[in-house]
Amino acid sequence: MIGSLAACSAPGGGADGGASADSVVLGVPWEPDTLSPLLGYGKDGNSKIFDGLLALDADQELTPALASELPEVGDNGRTYTYTLRDGVEFSDGEPLTSADVVFTYETVLDEKTNNTARSELDAIKEVRAEGDDKVVFTLRYPYAAFAARTVLPIVPEHIAGEQDPNTGSFNTKPIGTGPYVLTGWSKGEKLTFEANPDYWGGAPKVRKLTMAIIKDDDVRATRLRSGDLDGAVLPPNLAATFENDANKVTYEAKSYDYRAVTLPTANEVTGDRAIRRALDAAVDREAMVERILDGAGRPAYGPLPSNDAWFAKGVERAQDLAKAKDILDRAGWKPGKDGIRAKDGLRASFTLFSPAGDKLRQDHALAYASDAKKAGIEVKVESATWEVIEPRMGEDAVLAGGGSTGDPDFGLYTTLHSSLAGNGFNNMARYDNPAVDEALDTGRRTQDREDRKAAYDTVQRELAKDPGYTFLTHIDHIYVLADRWDGLTTQVEPHEHGFASGPWWNLEDWQPKK
């Protein structure tokens, strides 16, 4: 309740009782571990404190941000040259220069920096400044998706360069070029921001912003209904309770955000490929979309949603309990008196952790366990905090979420490549498939679209034959807000949503209703 109580006293007052439109209080389920881009914050864009060289618009098209125009590409895709926008300053008044860009990328690439997303910039061989306003990236190999990686926020060398990037105060007291300035952060409770009056894109009309951290979905909905919040991200079933509220508007964002069960290879049950294949066949994805998501989503057959241009047609699969049972029978997993199978004295039973307070994941976990039991596999669902879950991810299953926009490399490589097994939340299942690794490397290193399409088709078809996860659903993100502003839109979103996504992805462009 701490987060919701913080929201009660936050700027903005109430959502419906004539509150000022220049202040907004938003309820979100999570907060970043850090606010430093050097450690991964804002790497996919949409930070309110920082800007990248480029940004993504409502249609996920790249647009200039700190760069004055899109990059000049040369040497057959091995060099990218950016010219910086004139007159941009950090919020402390110091000018942005090419040295800040070079410092940001070199620090992220430094192995001593604790950035688990470093592999996403693997293509960079060198980044150098040419004068104060030009930056040149030289790549090790042509990387078709490179420009989309340059939404990475830029930090000021004159401040961050004086600190240890892993432990410095910049991680919680950042300075950037973005439309908002952080004014306070009470961990687990709220973050407060004020508009940057000197923002290069123009001073925002919403002058004060509070992000109230409320992990529990039900509490977030209750506080929105009571007027303590101006807006919130909600699961579909709770968002539906606001349909008849004339003072609220619901926004739906399509997403790449999936829910999946990790099946660690180190676990003696989930490490058996027959168990993983049977679970993939036993799950009823369509029912989950209908009953858990109220239709606000799609069945998931892998990290890429079925409406994506890179999705491999033909990997769609319906529930097939007969197939699941046949796979287990052939592999020697025989039903016991209680219906749960066993092999060589080992019961087909494992624990599935679901993050506490996340009703959507809990519902997915329970439905998954019910489907698995029909095939003779016992899944014991446990709710726990991430502090409990993280040390056990290597051996126990987790109801996980993921998904990235921009390019198939972004969502597939970190989830499936064996080189990232156990690297934080990358490849949580410790998946290791040589054919998948080879195809992922091909997709990353070639610029020919047809060759890339063939590579990513291979990844998805191999994953269907040898699943390291059971992918369940892709979720539409639902937001409910007080009807007090114009200019609100949504983007196609990644897994990370709510904090800097949703209708407030372009908060700096909102206009009070007249």
**Looking at residue 16, what is its pLDDT?**
42
Angle between helices 273-282 and 321-330 (to 10 degrees): 170
Between CA 450 and CA 504 the distance in angstroms is 36
DSSP track, 300-353: -SSSS-TTSTT--TT------HHHHHHHHHHTT-EE-TTS-EEETTEESEEEEE
Q: pLDDT per residue over 258-311, tens digit each?
A: 999 999 999 999 999 999 999 999 999 999 999 999 999 999 999 999 999 999
Strand order in the sheet with 346-347: 334-335, 341-343, 346-347
**Looking at residue 60, what is its pLDDT?**
84
**Looking at residue 370, what is its pLDDT?**
98
Q: pLDDT per residue over 145-180, tens digit each?
A: 999 999 999 999 999 999 999 999 999 999 999 999
Q: Which candidate, 505, 399, 446, 447, places its Cα nearest to that of 44? A: 505
Is residue 26 within 8 Å of residue 211, measured between CB atoms? yes
**Looking at residue 19, what is its pLDDT?**
62
Please, what are the domains in the chain? 2-31+187-251+478-482 (3.40.190.10), 37-164 (3.90.76.10), 258-475 (3.10.105.10)
Is residue 48 within 8 Å of residue 209, measured between CB atoms? yes
Q: What phi-psi label fits residue 351: left (phi over 0), alpha (psi between -120 and 50 degrees) or beta? A: beta
- 102-109, long-range: CB within 8 Å, 24+ apart, which pairs? 102/127, 102/128, 102/129, 102/135, 103/155, 103/157, 103/160, 103/161, 104/37, 104/38, 104/152, 104/153, 104/154, 104/155, 104/157, 105/137, 105/152, 107/38, 107/160, 107/165, 108/37, 108/38, 108/152
Q: In whole angstroms, how far apart are CA 153 and each of 41, 111, 465?
A: 8, 19, 38
Q: Is 503 helix (H, G, I), strand (E, B) or coil?
A: helix
Q: Structure pTM? A: 0.83
Question: And the tokens for 288?
Answer: 């989950």
Q: pLDDT per residue over 379-396, tens digit each?
A: 999 999 999 999 999 999
**Looking at residue 3, what is its pLDDT?**
34
**Looking at residue 357, what is its pLDDT?**
82
Question: And the tokens for 126?
Answer: 């060198």
Q: Is 476 helix (H, G, I), strand (E, B) or coil?
A: coil
Q: Is 217 helix (H, G, I), strand (E, B) or coil?
A: helix
CA angle (43, 398, 286) in 5-degree steps? 90
Q: pLDDT per residue over 413-451, tens digit each?
A: 999 999 999 888 899 999 999 999 999 999 998 889 999
Instruction: Flag residues of the chain having pLDDT under 50.
Output: 1-18
